[in-house]
């Protein structure tokens, strides 16, 4: 244990009392990063981190993030540093500006340690498809289980205790699912709460900035720092930024909806039993639990709706990765050949597959029955989610139906377990609602998590609930460096 | 829904300006068997006449203009830094009009 393993507030206190320094923290984070073998980094920024940390001498007492080291998913633009989104198509691309979230963390004087791996262009949920290969789960030294994706590297570096927090992005569940597999708090706030300027778009109607921390208060501290209107992102909200630090940590009288079809679809008995214990413990704390039927047919359509909308948006968004406007140049005799060479060489098969699916959904003969219909299904599903949240403070569910799957496992893509229990976190992206994953317990030594989702812009309520749950689970501050005993 | 076959996939790839290996095309055609079944779950949803296609989670229409802030334009060298082929301070590409 070292200062690096404490909560952000505790590290801040140690910095203010000069028991440690940003430089010591950065050096230790870099040492841990170099010793780690989970393949979580696109690049380490060793010299830059040491230089920046060295400049931080006089602690800012009112700035909890002063001198805190962190990592960043490699799909956020960083001025002067290569940003590839783990795709060969962007090899060598050096942005000329910082993403707004990067600027905000610079203003807070956080120290960027490195940029982390992702599934190529953030399209994927396994952490296996980036151009640097598989990113592994720090809880599995045998390297046989995935850490999940697409924000695989960011999940791994926080779980391995390298940094107290890391930024990711979440289009379907790309922060909240790996958070479950890596025993972390994974947060995706309301759509529009955090500016996405400088985040490479995948599917902008679904994309969110998200982040991993080791406890709920750290997550709230980050949300306060990153939220707010940004004129560089026209979809960012004008709503004033609240104070999100959890205060009321009681579950007494809270109405909690559990979607019964999703829980019933889970075949892993230990996950189900642990979740049932969590529900019982929350009831014992005074929460009112309602098992609510969502509508099986609508839930079964989540995955296809997500695939159609996200692939269609991606096909359009990534048209600019053509070796001329963006992307590695591979030559060619005509401009079409330049573009074709860049895209043929740059994208992996999996990305081309997504683009063809998106293109198929947008073909003249299909656009009404696939794309427009998927947008209507999204509207119907969103209306149902909001209807449930009219009568309940939150929707509470297992974040995933199992602990981290084996890397060799193939999913049964048409089973209810896959279609419903493995994809329900996309509900938060469809509706743009705040949603946080919190550690629940362990199954076979691997972490599992639960997820809370609240009404739009009710992040404060979300953190109160998550914080109350954290007290029950006893897993605040969890990492492989700071193991904890599960209670549920 | 348009019938999916090898010709449709080849045509889509061509329009998207990339190519794949023959085994890649064959793998994708097989994957479409499952994908089409998944996509049919969308077709089963009833009562959609009451819903408009949803393009964003919330209304995000804005009509504000950013403040005019005078600033130094991007230096030429920096602007050309990411270009693949540069000659005489210009990005060199094949002729568009032949």
Whichever domain contains A188, its CATH number is: 3.90.1300.10
pLDDT of residue B72: 87
Nearest to A334 among B8, B35, B94 (CB): B94
Contacts of A308 in chain B (CB under 8 A): 39, 42
Nearest residue to A159 via CA among A196, A116, A128, A205: A116
pLDDT of residue A411: 59
Q: What is the largest CA-CA distance in chain B?
A: 62
Binding-face residues of A in 235-264 toward B, CB within 8 A: 235
**Tokens at A410, concatenated:** 């193939």
Question: A296: Cβ–Cβ under 8 A, 6 or more apart, which residues?
Answer: A261, A416, A420
Peptide bond connecting A101 to the previous residue in cis, omega within 30 degrees of 0: no
Q: Does B41 contact A at CB distance below 8 Å?
A: yes
Choose from A155-164, A230-239, A331-340 the range with maximum mean pLDDT. A155-164
| CA–CA distance, A26 with A51 (Å, rounded to integer) | 10
Judge whether A83 lies within some domain. yes
Domain count, chain A: 1
pLDDT band at A420 (very low <50, low <70, confident <90, very high): confident
Query: Ramachandran region of residue B10, left (φ > 0), alpha (ψ -120 to 50) or beta?
Result: alpha
Contact B9 A356 (CB under 8 A): yes
pLDDT of residue A178: 98
What DSSP string describes A251-310?
-TT-EEEEEHHHHHT---HHHHHHHHHHHHHHHHTT-EEEEE---HHHHHTHHHHHHHHH
CA A140, A143, A144, A147: dihedral to nearest 10 degrees?
A: 70
Dump strand ranges (E) for chain B. 86-87, 90-91
* Residue whose tokens read 């498809």: A129
Judge whether A395 lies within some domain. no
Contacts of A432 in chain B (CB under 8 A): 56-58
Judge whether A262 lies within some domain. no
Q: What own/partner pairs with CB < 8 Å and gap ≥ 24 does B49-55 have?
A: B50/A380, B51/A376, B51/A379, B51/A380, B51/A383, B52/A376, B52/A379, B53/A372, B53/A375, B53/A376, B53/A379, B54/A205, B54/A375, B54/A376, B54/A378, B54/A379, B54/A382, B54/A430, B55/A205, B55/A375
pLDDT band at B60 (very low <50, low <70, confident <90, very high): confident
Q: Which of A7, A87, A154, A174 is catalytic?
A: A174
The mean predicted confidence, pLDDT, of chain A is 96
Top pLDDT among A201 and B63 is at A201
The burial class, CB within 10 Å (0-12 / 13-18 / 19+), for A436 is buried
- Mean pLDDT across A178-184: 98
Question: A394: Cβ–Cβ under 8 A, 6 or more apart, which residues?
Answer: A254, A256, A257, A452, A453, A454, A461, A462, A465
Tens digits of per-residue pLDDT, A188-200?
999 999 999 999 9
Q: Does A368 contact B at CB distance below 8 Å?
A: no
Q: What backbone torsions phi and psi does residue A183 show, to the nearest 5 degrees?
A: 65, 40
For residue A485, the Cα-to-chain-centroid distance in whole angstroms is 25
pLDDT band at A414 (very low <50, low <70, confident <90, very high): low
Tens digits of per-residue pLDDT, A5-29?
999 999 999 999 999 999 999 999 9
Stated as kind and residue range, the H or E segment containing A447 is strand A446-453
Contact B42 A374 (CB under 8 A): yes
Judge whether A116 lies within some domain. yes
| CA–CA distance, B25 with A120 (Å, rounded to integer) | 20
- Mean pLDDT across A126-140: 96
Per DSSP, the three-state class of B80 is: coil
- Mean pLDDT across A127-152: 97
Q: What backbone torsions phi and psi does residue B51 show, to the nearest 5 degrees?
A: -120, 140
Q: What backbone torsions phi and psi does residue A41 show, to the nearest 5 degrees?
A: -115, 135
Q: What backbone torsions phi and psi does residue A443 show, to the nearest 5 degrees?
A: -130, 120
pLDDT at A38 over 90: yes
Nearest residue to A100 via CA among A72, A77, A70, A74: A77
Q: Does A431 contact B at CB distance below 8 Å?
A: yes
For chain A, what percent of residues have pLDDT higher than 70?
Answer: 99
pLDDT of residue A248: 76
Q: Does B72 contact A at CB distance below 8 Å?
A: no
Contact A303 B20 (CB under 8 A): no
**Tokens at A252, concatenated:** 């007494």
Judge whether A436 lies within some domain. no
Contact A365 B84 (CB under 8 A): no
Nearest residue to A290 via CA among A397, A213, A188: A397
Strand partners of residue A391: none
For chain A, what percent of residues have pLDDT higher than 90?
Answer: 93
Contact A94 B48 (CB under 8 A): no
pLDDT band at B66 (very low <50, low <70, confident <90, very high): confident
pLDDT of residue B82: 85
* Structural domain range at position A170: 3-251
Nearest CA in chain A to B32: A357
Contacts of A382 in chain B (CB under 8 A): 54, 57
Candidates A376, A389, A412, A427: best to mutate against B (most CBs of B within 10 A) is A376
Contact B41 A297 (CB under 8 A): yes
Distance of residue B41 Cα from the nearest chain A Cα, in angstroms: 5
Q: Which ranges of A363-424 does DSSP label H, i.e. alpha helix?
A: 373-391, 416
**CA-CA distances (angstroms) from residue A329 to A121, A341, A353?**
18, 8, 22
The answer to which of A240-254, A274-288, A302-316, B51-65 has the lowest mean pLDDT is B51-65
Q: What is the pTM of this model?
A: 0.97
Top pLDDT among A328 and A271 is at A271
The answer to whether residue A415 is catalytic is no
- The ipTM value here is 0.92
Nearest residue to A303 via CA among A202, A405, A381: A381
Judge whether A149 lies within some domain. yes
Tens digits of per-residue pLDDT, A321-339?
999 888 888 989 998 999 9
Tens digits of per-residue pLDDT, A68-78?
999 999 999 99
The burial class, CB within 10 Å (0-12 / 13-18 / 19+), for A24 is middle
| CA–CA distance, A72 with A49 (Å, rounded to integer) | 13
Judge whether A134 lies within some domain. yes
pLDDT at B73 over 90: no
Cβ contact A449:A179 at 8 Å: yes
Nearest CA in chain A to B2: A365
Dump strand ranges (E) for A313-416. 394-398
pLDDT at A413 over 60: no
Contact B58 A349 (CB under 8 A): no
Judge whether A425 lies within some domain. no
Distance of residue B30 Cα from the nearest chain A Cα, in angstroms: 12
Nearest to A343 among B17, B54, B78 (CB): B17
- HSE at residue A276, side-chain half, CA atoms within 13 A, is 9
| CA–CA distance, A232 with A234 (Å, rounded to integer) | 6
């Amino acid at each position: 244990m070292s200062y690096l393993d404490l909560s952000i507030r505790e590290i801040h206190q140690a910095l203010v009392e000069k028991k440690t320094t940003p430089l010591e923290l950065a050096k230790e984070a870099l040492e841990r990063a170099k010793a780690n073998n989970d393949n979580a980094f696109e690049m380490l920024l060793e010299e830059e981190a040491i230089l920046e940390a060295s400049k931080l001498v006089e602690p800012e007492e009112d700035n909890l993030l002063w001198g805190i080291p962190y990592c960043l998913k490699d799909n956020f633009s960083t001025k002067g540093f290569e940003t590839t989104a783990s795709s060969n198509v962007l090899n060598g691309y050096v942005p000329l500006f910082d993403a707004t979230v990067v600027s905000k963390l610079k203003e807070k004087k956080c120290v960027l340690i490195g940029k982390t791996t992702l599934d190529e262009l953030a399209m994927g949920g396994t952490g296996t498809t980036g151009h640097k290969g598989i990113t592994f789960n720090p809880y599995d030294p045998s390297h046989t289980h995935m850490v999940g994706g697409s924000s695989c590297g960011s999940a791994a570096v926080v779980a391995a205790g390298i940094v107290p927090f890391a930024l990711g992005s979440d289009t379907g569940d790309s922060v909240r699912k790996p958070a479950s597999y890596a025993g972390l708090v994974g947060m995706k706030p309301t759509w529009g709460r955090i500016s996405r300027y400088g985040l490479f778009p995948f599917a902008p109607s679904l994309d969110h900035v998200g982040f991993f921390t080791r406890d709920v208060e750290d997550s709230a501290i980050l949300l306060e720092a990153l939220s707010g209107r940004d004129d560089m992102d026209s979809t960012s909200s004008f709503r004033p930024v609240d104070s999100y630090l959890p205060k009321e940590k009681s579950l007494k009288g809270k109405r909690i909806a559990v979607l019964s079809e999703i829980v019933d679809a889970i075949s892993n008995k230990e996950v189900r039993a642990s979740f049932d214990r969590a529900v019982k413990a929350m009831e014992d704390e005074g929460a009112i639990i309602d098992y609510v039927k969502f509508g099986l047919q609508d839930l079964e359509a989540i995955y296809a709706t997500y695939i159609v909308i996200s692939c269609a948006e991606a096909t359009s968004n990534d048209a600019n990765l053509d070796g001329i406007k963006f992307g590695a140049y591979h030559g060619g005799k005509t401009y079409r050949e330049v573009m074709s060479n860049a895209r043929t060489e740059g994208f992996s098969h999996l990305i081309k597959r997504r683009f063809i699916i998106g293109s198929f959904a947008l073909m003249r003969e299909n656009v009404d029955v696939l794309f427009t219909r998927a947008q209507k299904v999204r509207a119907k599903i969103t209306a149902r989610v909001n209807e449930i949240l009219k009568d309940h403070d939150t929707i509470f569910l297992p974040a995933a139906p199992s602990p981290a799957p084996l890397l060799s496992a193939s999913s049964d893509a048409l089973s209810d377990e896959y279609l419903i229990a493995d994809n329900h976190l996309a509900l938060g992206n469809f509706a743009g609602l705040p949603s946080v994953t919190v550690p629940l317990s362990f199954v076979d030594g691997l972490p599992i998590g639960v997820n809370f989702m609240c009404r739009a812009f009710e992040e404060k309520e979300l953190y109160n609930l998550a914080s109350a749950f954290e007290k029950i689970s006893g897993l605040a501050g969890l990492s492989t460096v700071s193991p904890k005993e599960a209670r549920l | 829904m348009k019938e999916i076959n090898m010709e449709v996939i080849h045509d889509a790839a061509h329009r998207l300006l990339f190519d794949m290996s023959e085994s890649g095309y064959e793998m994708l055609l097989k994957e479409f068997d499952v994908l089409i079944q998944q996509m049919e779950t969308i077709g089963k949803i009833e009562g959609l006449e009451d819903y408009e296609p949803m393009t964003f989670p919330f209304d995000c229409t804005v009509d504000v203009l950013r403040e005019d802030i005078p600033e130094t334009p991007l230096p030429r060298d920096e602007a050309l830094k990411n270009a693949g082929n540069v000659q005489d301070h210009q990005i060199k590409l094949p002729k568009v009009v032949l």
